[in-house]
A and B are shown apart, each in its own frame.
Chain A
């Protein structure tokens, strides 16, 4: 109910200065109890109320300061000579000794000790009792602990509105710090008060980030410069590239100009090997790969449009969602696209048209991760749609090894830097999978549910023991891998090399067979359908043509059937009418 106070004023009095005066309190409204309302309530009798009368306990923990202790010994140089004997005096000591030697006790004990001692001496002389007999047996360190990993720390996004950890990068030396790029990649879900900051964490201190980076737009990816551990480069959601120096604070030292940068979020940025140590290149879903020099971010040094038709038109370009660069092969790099293709490119090609060397087609969805095996650069791992695939550069038709279709989307993957057979993938259901191709190929060797929300990014530290994965709600978890997953096993390299070769050969054979079949098909179709005009025999016909052909076939089949029936009808009409009817009924 509304409580309203009405007062009246003369029009002429409006705008006049108000004169306030005191008056006693006035009762405006009195809301008395309303008995009928009580009927809406039921009297509850008895009522159950629980109380606990117990002693209040509280738990306290006390950590005392470390108590440092040291072991020391005292060396008594000269034995405990009795008081009257002066150890320096030869005479006194000799006298003392002679006295002892005359002692009964002395004689018996020395004789007894002597015999024991003689035994041992003779034993020593007879054989070397401490000879190492088990030299030939190999140390039994074959004890395989089951692969295990445990969470060491979780770094949470300190902001209210949680953002996804879309990129992670370890500090190049010392590996004490982890940089995380936080942004919201879901289309238009970024709220207005979402913070743009990204953080650098010290792995020992999960409570507060060590340094906050403040870009102009949320960072999608972030990389430490492997040459200079104080500098970082990040790609922003609005397509710009920013360059930080941690010694100079949170603001980017340089920012690329908006007109010259990408038009879509920069999905990946990689530093390159160069003399100056300031070169990097970035890829984005707008279809461009741009090369930058960090000292001059006003415009990119080079530009490549990922257009398969080699015309350089942005409309037909494929959006890039992953990028790969291996320092040992500085002129080649690979781009994973939104369309599921992986393009292998050569930077030093003469003309832009030749920059794209070849394509690998395998995924149904965007390729989210792309990495070469650090031990076998010819083989690389891609992740996209619901599978992870391993490819060999030589086979362009299909991947040489692939996982089963998983239950949820795979978002990121990387190889282990110490074990060539091990790679890790993270999924949208928050599970981290560890795959060991030497151990099991059908399913992951180890599956750990890291968190309830989806995991978006993954990065392993160079030592191979620690790995960080970032989730959708801004939590970066640090996991430590068990020793079986982070130490190189015996023969692993050769076994993995053999496996990759075997799979590559298998694919090659399959490819050759496919080609043969197609060739046969083509020659056969050319012979039989010469008047139909040349059709592309590798099956790539225009869908419209296919539809038209199918329709034509269908109608001709129907026509033929109708004609056949007509013919039968005519035949029967020549016979008797009754018979005809019967036959017709029977024929129908």
Chain B
């Protein structure tokens, strides 16, 4: 429990990190550092995207699986680390 907190704190302290969300497989945000409305929005949209990405990869090659998903946009970068039951979503503003 404490390690979880520590990990999250460490991530939060990295340069440019704007928000962290932990979501479970049903799309319920377990932990978040952002306000509720944005969390809900992010979760709802990203959940579908991750499901789609994963199913795409599995369709192409059943042995394959999604390990990491990065969405780089003009304003920031959304990084999603999927797992069997949970995802970790981090929004970062890369310094360039």
User: Interface on A for B, CB 8 Å cutoff?
Assistant: 73, 75-82, 96-97, 100-102, 105-107, 109-118, 120-122, 124-125, 128, 130-131
Contacts and interface: CB of A to CB of B under 8 A. Distances in A.
A92 B6 CA distance: 26
Contact of A109 (B27, B40, B83): B83
| Chain A, interface SS category | helix
A117 B29 contact: no
Nearest to A105: B85
Interface string B1-43: 1011001101100111100001110111111000000001001
Contacts of B68: 116, 120
Given A73-B48, A111-B3, A117-B81, A78 B40 contact: yes
B26 A79 contact: yes
Given A97-B31, A105-B85, A80 B40 contact: no
Contacts of A113: 81, 83, 86-88
Contact of B88 (A96, A97, A105, A117): A117
B79 interface: yes
B29 A128 contact: no
A130 B11 CA distance: 22
Given A80-B26, A102-B1, A124 B16 contact: yes
Contact of B92 (A79, A96, A121): A121
A107 B6 CA distance: 11
A502 to B, nearest CB: 51
10 contacts: A73-B48, A76-B48, A79-B24, A101-B1, A105-B85, A114-B4, A117-B79, A120-B79, A121-B16, A124-B94
B24 to A, nearest CB: 6
Nearest to B93: A124
Contacts of A101: 1, 4, 30-31
A117 B86 contact: no
Nearest to B89: A117
A101 B28 CA distance: 12
A121 B85 contact: no
B58 interface: no
A531 B87 CA distance: 116
Given A79-B29, A114-B88, A118-B14, 18 more contacts: A76-B44, A76-B47, A78-B44, A79-B47, A80-B28, A100-B30, A101-B31, A106-B86, A107-B1, A109-B84, A110-B7, A114-B8, A114-B10, A117-B81, A117-B90, A121-B11, A124-B92, A125-B16
B85 A79 contact: no
Contacts of B83: 109, 112-113
A100 B1 contact: no
Given A76-B44, A111-B3, A125 B31 contact: no
A89 B4 CA distance: 26
B28 A81 contact: yes
A49 to B, nearest CB: 61
